[in-house]
Copies of this chain bind each other. A is one copy, B any other.
Amino acid sequence: MKRILLSVEYDGTNYAGWQRQSNGLAVQQVLEEALARATGVPSLTVTGSSRTDAGVHALAQQVHFDTESSIPPEKYPFVLNTQLPPDIRVKTGREVPQDFHARFLSCGKTYTYRILNSRHGSALYRNLCWHVPVPLDTAAMEASLPALLGTHDFSAFQAAGGTAKTTLRTLDRAELLQEGDRLTLLVSGNAFLYNMVRIIAGTLVEIGLHRLCPDAFARALSSQNRLDLGMTAPPQGLELTEVRYPEAAFTDPASLRWHT
């Protein structure tokens, strides 16, 4: 039995999210069915690093599964991409140790949230950004972000339904890039709570609209009150961009305490 790790890009527009659902088609299900066909087993379960919501995209979702198949690990992209719809692409495949785990061994992730701040929306990028038609005060938005850096109790920054045992998280990057009317929020940290990046993006936009003060993040970190933050930004602006693992995850996973 081999454990294989895939890196998977997907356009979440037409899916009910990453995780298998009873009420809609999930990326996980489509990938599992393609893998089952490719490896000739009746059914198979894959584990993703992040359970992205409906409409959320991934540039590099990390996915592991176990197989007895003799397909060389690096050939999985070629084998699977002929089976998958074009909005799901497997980019790389590699063998990892038996006790590697795509979710529990991750030590960091980067998310990108894209905002289009123009009068009228974009036809071309409509599924890849949040269209905010009112001018935003980007200086106020930028000023608000450093408060997020470091280790904090982010309990105010989660939607109901989160299952995390601790709400302590460490962010090492929270940056807003501006290129004309396109704003790009990059957030990197050791782990994220349910809807955390979308709550950060929604709050950031409300700061840019002067509905919230630039100290909203600092205030919510101290009050631990979800009501000190803004709306949850819509899913289509969000992309899981990178998932990081400690080097030992690929050499000696047993030596690692699992990050949960």
Contacts and interface: CB of A to CB of B under 8 A. Distances in A.
Most chain B C-beta atoms within 10 Å of own C-beta, residue among A10, A121, A239 = A121
Contacts of A59: 124
A10 B88 contact: no
Copy total for this chain: 2
Contacts of A91: 119-120
Contact of A11 (B90, B120, B124): B124
Contacts of A11: 123-124, 126
Most chain B C-beta atoms within 10 Å of own C-beta, residue among A87, A91, A123 = A123
A69 interface: no
Interface string A43-58: 0000000000000010
A15 to B, nearest CB: 11
Interface in A76-133: 77, 81, 86-91, 119-124, 126, 128
Nearest to A7: B120
Contact of A86 (B57, B87, B88, B121): B121
